[in-house]
Structure 1
Amino acid sequence: MRKRGLFKKQSDQEKKESIFPISIKVLEEKIRKELPGKQDLFIQEHEQNGKKLLLFGVPYLIEKVDLNDYLLEPLLEKKINWTNEEILNEIPLSTGVKVTSFEEIIDKLLVGGVFIYVEHEEEIICYILLNKEKRGLDKAETESLVLGPKIAFTESISTNMNIIRFRVRSKDLVMEELKVGESIPTDLRLVYMKSIANEDDVNTMRQRIEDLDVDKIEDAIVLKQYLEDSELNVFPQFEITELPDRLTYAITHGKVGVLIENSPSAIIAPATFFSFLESTEDRYMRWQSGTFFRFLRFISIFFAITVTPAYVAVVTYQYGLIPMQLLISIGQSRAQVPFPPLLEAFLLEFMIELLREAGARLPTKVGQTMGIVGGIVIGQAAVEAGLTSNILIIVVAMSALASFTSPSYLLGSSVRIIRFPLMLLAGALGVFGIMFGICFIIIHAIRLTSLGRPYLSPLYPLQLKDFNNVFFRSPPRYDSNRMKSFLLKDQRRFSKEEAAKKQDIDE
């Protein structure tokens, strides 16, 4: 579906309409009228042997060393004829191109273009000398790792492309250039392995990007929301990562990646629900440890969704499900609490969410102190004031800890949202309400797709051969095939028989 934006696209004919030849004075007036801020332009007029030349650009976007040493010095100090061909031949820069339309001039000005116009010529010469301000390579902030590479993407797309190309030294790696945004175009790269990725996935992603009609895209996370299959569901449908090794692993296993300028994150598609519970560390551990921690995350996410609603349900309706000794402890703990279990649980969960949000918004060291001290102080004060019970504080704390086990912040946020409707159903219908809510979530997830692929694959539709890529890790030599669910061009990674051979040097 085509998404309409605020700005209308220009036709190709309008963009290519030439304004040359033109007098220097008229060109200068047009440029100043389009960019009226004097501080945004440098415009210099020079004359030599009866020829006039106009030089202009946006100073804070331009690399000063390249401008002075490689453009101005040969242009003004060497005795060269001022013709377009002579200038392109003598200036030692490879980015020189001829431009004819005024729209192209404005577009290139805003990406660090320096223009040279010799009066009465039929084109103007442009050199892109963009000075890219970027931070250095650093550790990932949102995806913490103990094992494996810790380098993270930056806001520079050229740096990110360099990292990916360095990690995947293959002629099959494709970084297809696209642009998104009408009023403020942003560079974008579609990244995939030509010999592996499913062509339908690549074409679908490309078509969705090209069909976008929006004024500006601020970040990969914003772009992801435009490209997802469904806008009305709570589950994330594309992965977001700031780890280059996660992206390279995904594309070498047949998925499609998207890099965008000014974003330190990359998009990975198609994704399944289980993709968000996989960590890059799983591959760096022994397969037994990787399998154990993956199972732990599956159990934790289910626990995070259901444990607080289950408390509300059994305390409100299904007392018989609680052992007698525990029931006595719960009764004593709640003796002074004036609220019903549903309101009590909502109050405590709301307090936990406030602490979590406040800790995330404060500076790092202050936020950590706020989360720990605030949780202890407020929890103890709430119990002593009779607002909640000790048992519920333990339940809510376990639920919060379980939600933190998800490697994906997006899935963790979804779990936090889902928990509240389930608590309402538990308060209204007890355990039956929880079961109704879980069934609704499962049915909803079965209907979801990611780039047209089933969201619960390989569980639905059932593909048993893909289980070792999702639910557990098999020993490395048995991990010889890619996921069949994605219908890739090349399913085979290596020969299992050859990988099983182990010979000593003297054999």
Structure 2
Amino acid sequence: MFKKPIKLLFDKEQMKETQDMTKKKEQSTEASTVHESLIPSLGKELEQQVTAALHSPAELVVKNIAPNLTLIYMDDLVDVRTLTDQILRDLYKEVYLSPESLKQRLIIPKVDLSSTMEEAVMAILNGSVLIHVEGHSIVLLGNISTRESRSLSAPENESQVIGSQVAFNESLSTNASLVRRYIINADLCKENYKVGNRTNTTVALMYIKGIASEEMVQTVQQRIEDLDVDAMIDSTVLAQLIDDNSLSPFPQFLMTERPDRFCEGLLNGKLGILVDGSSLAIICPQSFTEFFQSREDQNLRWPIATFLRLLRISAVFLSIFLTPLYVASLTFHYEVIPRSLLVPLSESRALVPFPPIIEALLLELIIELLREAGARLPTKVGQTIGIVGGIVIGTAAVQAGITSNILIIIVALSALASFTSPSYTMGNVIRLIRFPIILLAGFWGFFGVMLAFCFVLVHLLRQSSLGAPYTAPFYPPRLVDWRDSLVRLPLPFTNKRPTITRTKDQTKYDSEPINPEKNRTEGD
């Protein structure tokens, strides 16, 4: 007796699917019609169609040059000087009978012929001037675009003392030219893609042919081409869309504003991605330890570089586990505290009404509030807020009996240690995972801390970057890469490229040191 309603339900679902398929076919037919629409031969019709396609913007300029030429362009997107000196000045002199003859006359670098309306409209939006000869169904598209961009400046987030002092800006052409100035090689490849159905943002994939893995290149190409998004405003969003696991808080791609670090990645067999309008570039694949390496490490002597890398890694563990260990010790494990510290600890916490977990979380939140306020306020005001706010709030909290002196020192050290990471995104992750570890330490003591450590370790072991192991070179163990990971051995020992890039050419340079006996003498 239930067959009839079920059949009716299936009929309704089938009708709905049929309607959806019909609607998609109509939309695809309309899209194909727009895509295949041809340029009209009459200038008046072309003007009407372009105006209708762009919805009559105020900056659209239409010039009718006697007797048979029509120019259409966006006033805010073209270089006015180039338009006046190299196009309008020549067009007023002669009468052109065909677009081909006109193309030979123009002296601007890039002039294309097009017969479809879609190409013409997109070229106008990209800063080209459309030139139409009356009676022809082909138009000329002269690229004279101009885009305002700030001048080159020093890096703000990845500053260094020794080395280059220039950073990327928001212009894709400028950033690509900076890369080509560092790597003057014909094997440096650059492939452009359009991402964003509504923004049509240009994304450039760069790699060195013969060094970069073809499999990785094809993987990134496919991931970019498969993107179906409305907008692509910044490279950080692109990195989250094409990485291996977007649910993980740990970044799998490195974001950098330094051209020298970007080029070093390309020379090591990695891939680089530039996004028009973004001052941050993407480097992939990337291992976990490489987020704590600085470009300045290569410019320093190897003992100093090794010391700084070990200091950063130690600071990471200090930032993550120092406060949770304090909470666990005072809550469950008094026996691990030396006797000489028990008296100062008890005196410091005598007036504190909160348990250690509430005290620690309160101070950690205050530190994060000060950091966020200092980052969002103007530079001069932000620095003042950070310094004055930390001193005033810390002193007032101790005098009011809300927290102890020792915990303020511990929280300040943890916050300071989190800022030693050269990668801003990795520093944010370190500050984030500290909070759940504090909660586990307050509930289960050292067992909770070890549980959190094991969970983070297993999570890192499961991650990958473009298919490469995230915890390399330690798991799976690759002894060759240990020479330039947590430590940095002398340059003759670091002449191999990282194995995670899976490059065919593993050697970067000859490892044989210079022989002093081969130096020239005065008699030579």
Question: Normalising TM by the smaller chain, what interval?
Answer: over 0.9
Counterpart of 1:65 (choices 81, 87, 95) is 81
AA of the residue aligned to 1:443:
V
Q: CA RMSD in A?
A: 1.6
Q: Is the 8 A contact 1:258 1:267 kept in 2?
A: yes
Q: Is the 8 A contact 2:39 2:117 kept in 1?
A: no
Secondary structure of 1:127's match?
Answer: strand
Aligned to 2:406: 391
d(CA) in 2 for partners of 1:86, 1:482: 53
User: What's the CA shift for 1:359?
Assistant: 0.2
Task: Render the CA deviation track for 1:115-137: whole Å, top value 9, x for unaligned.
Answer: 11112202011111111111100
Question: 1:35-114, aligned counterparts within 5 Å?
Answer: 35-48=54-67, 52-76=68-92, 78-114=93-129
d(CA) in 1 for partners of 2:60, 2:334: 76
Aligned to 1:4: none
Secondary structure of 1:225's match?
Answer: helix
User: What's the CA shift for 1:180?
Assistant: 1.2
Q: Is the 8 A contact 2:473 2:481 kept in 1?
A: yes
AA of the residue aligned to 1:63:
D
- Of 358-367 and 470-479, more deviation after overlay is shown by 470-479
Secondary structure of 1:88's match?
Answer: helix
Secondary structure of 1:330's match?
Answer: helix
d(CA) in 1 for partners of 2:387, 2:57: 52
d(CA) in 2 for partners of 1:9, 1:95: 32
User: What's the CA shift for 1:83?
Assistant: 1.8
Secondary structure of 2:49's match?
Answer: helix
Secondary structure of 2:76's match?
Answer: helix
d(CA) in 2 for partners of 1:257, 1:12: 33
Secondary structure of 2:170's match?
Answer: coil
Query: Judging changes above 3 Å, is the alpha-carbon distance between structure 1 residues 210 and 38 closer, same or farther for their aligned structure 2 residues?
Result: closer
Q: Does 1:274 align with 2:289?
A: yes
Counterpart of 2:36 (choices 7, 10, 17) is 17
- Which of structure 1's runs of 4+ aligned residues deviate more than 6 A? 8-12
Question: 1:335-484, aligned counterparts within 5 Å?
Answer: 335-484=350-499
Aligned to 1:34: 53
- Of 100-109 and 331-340, more deviation after overlay is shown by 100-109
Question: 1:188-207, aligned counterparts within 5 Å?
Answer: 188-207=203-222
User: What's the CA shift for 1:81?
Assistant: 2.2
User: What's the CA shift for 1:34?
Assistant: 2.2
User: What's the CA shift for 1:499?
Assistant: 4.8
Task: Render the CA deviation track for 1:243-264: whole Å, top value 9, x for unaligned.
Answer: 0000001110111000111111
- Of 327-336 and 11-20, more deviation after overlay is shown by 11-20
- Of 304-313 and 497-506, more deviation after overlay is shown by 497-506
Query: Judging changes above 3 Å, is the alpha-carbon distance between structure 1 residues 317 and 280 closer, same or farther for their aligned structure 2 residues?
Result: same
Q: Is the 8 A contact 1:82 1:118 kept in 2?
A: yes
Q: Is the 8 A contact 1:316 1:430 kept in 2?
A: yes
Aligned to 2:305: 290
User: What's the CA shift for 1:497?
Assistant: 2.6
AA of the residue aligned to 1:345:
A
Q: Is the 8 A contact 1:477 1:499 kept in 2?
A: no
Task: Render the CA deviation track for 1:454-483: whole Å, top value 9, x for unaligned.
Answer: 100011000011101211111112222112
Aligned to 1:260: 275
Q: Specify every segment of 5 or more residues in structure 1 that has no aligned partner in the other structure, as ranges.
A: 1-7
Task: Render the CA deviation track for 1:54-87: whole Å, top value 9, x for unaligned.
Answer: 21110010100110000011011x1242421121
User: What's the CA shift for 1:23?
Assistant: 2.1
AA of the residue aligned to 2:280:
S
d(CA) in 1 for partners of 2:83, 2:106: 11
Task: Render the CA deviation track for 1:86-106: whole Å, top value 9, x for unaligned.
Answer: 211111113111111111121
Identity %: 43
Q: Is the 8 A contact 2:39 2:46 kept in 1?
A: no
User: What's the CA shift for 1:485?
Assistant: 3.4
d(CA) in 2 for partners of 1:316, 1:10: 69
Q: Is the 8 A contact 2:190 2:207 kept in 1?
A: yes
Query: Judging changes above 3 Å, is the alpha-carbon distance between structure 1 residues 11 and 327 closer, same or farther for their aligned structure 2 residues?
Result: farther
Q: Does 1:247 align with 2:262?
A: yes
AA of the residue aligned to 1:162:
S
d(CA) in 1 for partners of 2:369, 2:301: 38
Q: Specify every segment of 5 or more residues in structure 2 that has no aligned partner in the other structure, as ranges.
A: 1-26
- Counting matched residue pairs gives 496
User: What's the CA shift for 1:24?
Assistant: 1.9
Q: Is the 8 A contact 1:477 1:500 kept in 2?
A: no
Aligned to 2:197: 182
d(CA) in 2 for partners of 1:104, 1:145: 45
AA of the residue aligned to 1:189:
A
Secondary structure of 1:115's match?
Answer: strand
Secondary structure of 1:458's match?
Answer: coil
